[in-house]
Amino acid sequence: MSIFLAGAGPDPLAFPEVFDRFAGEVAQKPDATRSARIAVVVHDRAGNPAARLADYVEPLRARLSFEPVPVLLGGAGAVDPGLFDGVDAVVVGGGLTPAYLAGLRPAMAALTRTIARGAAYLGFSAGAMVAPERALIGGYRVDGTEVCGEECSEGLDALDIRSGLGLTPFAVDVHAAQAGTLGRAVGAVAAGLVERAVAIDENTALVLPRTGSQDFEVIGSGNCWDVRGRAPGNAKAAGGSAVVSVLRAD
């Protein structure tokens, strides 16, 4: 099944299409004799992740009969990797990106195995940013120079690249045009921290047909900004340049 990466948190009124497409894919699971099981991963800065579940579960319930499997991050114990066993899809919510990555780390192998065997993935905001092999987790400076607003830093100073879930071969940033994080994606590529980054606008998502695909479809009303370093051997590349392509839904 596909990998859906949304550029903001869940908003079924402003951006119903991502829920429609994701639910449609999950409904086509191979075993039609039982309801789908969807792992829903949430973190809450205030320490009550269970309060965030409805934001993700209810829009899907309106489209699909399924059993939610809550995966609550930030509690006293580590996440049980067994929560991802046998699920048909995984939803990872929005919030503090470093907290999502840290919370999922103990179960990362189980989660990626589940996706590799065909479970669909839907990541909102932070859930989109942790999906790549080399994940842009936050920060707002490159070599001391601001590349986006400090309010988008996730509590980090320098741009921070960490090992993510390995679902995409390119880094991902979110809230691109609306929060000015396109500058962070460009800065990451121009500085050589990643070879490619895709910044996703709000009310927009990219859809990969499979894990590791270089190509994707754009859905929604905004843009995906595909940022790539110049080809090796180009003399201008030494100056830290990048090329940006603007991609919209067909």
- Concatenate the DSSP letters of all residues of 14-80 into one string: T-HHHHHHHHHHHTT-S-TTS-EEEEEEE--TTS-GGGGHHHHHHHHHTT--EEEEEEE-SSSSPPP
Among 70-84, 141-155, 230-244, the range of highest mean pLDDT: 141-155
Residue 75 has pLDDT above 80, yes or no: no
Give yes or no for a contact between 53 and 106, defined as CB atoms under 8 angstroms apart.
Answer: no
CA dist., res. 52 & res. 72, Å (int):
9
pLDDT at 235 (0 to 100): 38
Neighbours of 131 (CB within 10 A): 24
pLDDT at 231 (0 to 100): 58
Mean pLDDT of 197-212: 97
Residue 240 has pLDDT above 80, yes or no: no
The mean of the pLDDT values for the chain is 93
Residue 237 has pLDDT above 50, yes or no: no
Give the rounded distance of the alpha carbon of 135 from its chain centre: 9
Give yes or no for a contact between 74 and 103, defined as CB atoms under 8 angstroms apart.
Answer: yes
pLDDT at 239 (0 to 100): 53
Q: Which residues contact 151 (CB under 8 A, 6 or more apart)?
A: 179
Which has the higher per-residue pLDDT, 33 or 200?
Answer: 200
Q: Residue 72's beta-bridge partner residues?
A: 42
Mean pLDDT of 48-63: 96
pLDDT tens digits for range 219-234: 999 999 999 997 554 4
The domain defined by 3-248 folds into: Rossmann fold (3.40.50)
Nearest CA to 111 out of 209, 41, 207 is that of 41
Q: What is the pTM of this model?
A: 0.94
- As a whole-number percent, the residues of the chain with pLDDT over 90 amount to 88
Q: Residue 219's beta-bridge partner residues?
A: 205
Tokens 């390995």 belong to residue: 166
pLDDT at 76 (0 to 100): 60
Alpha-carbon distances, residue 79 vs 14, 105, 138 (angstroms): 32, 8, 23
In which order are the strands placed within the sheet that holds 171-174? 171-174, 196-200, 223-229, 242-248
Domain chopping of the chain, boundaries = 3-248
Helix residue ranges, H only, 105-233? 108-116, 126-129, 176-179, 182-190
Mean pLDDT of 201-214: 96
Neighbours of 70 (CB within 10 A): 15
Residues in the chain: 250
pLDDT tens digits for range 97-129: 999 999 999 999 999 999 999 999 999 999 999
CA angle 52, 56, 61 (to 5 degrees): 130
Helix pair angle (53-61, 16-26), 10° resolution: 70
Burial track 179-208 (b if 16+ CB lie within 10 A, e otherwise): bbbbbbbbbbbbbebbebbbbbbbbbbbbb
Residue 182 has pLDDT above 90, yes or no: yes
pLDDT at 234 (0 to 100): 43
Strand 204-208 versus strand 3-6 pairing type = antiparallel
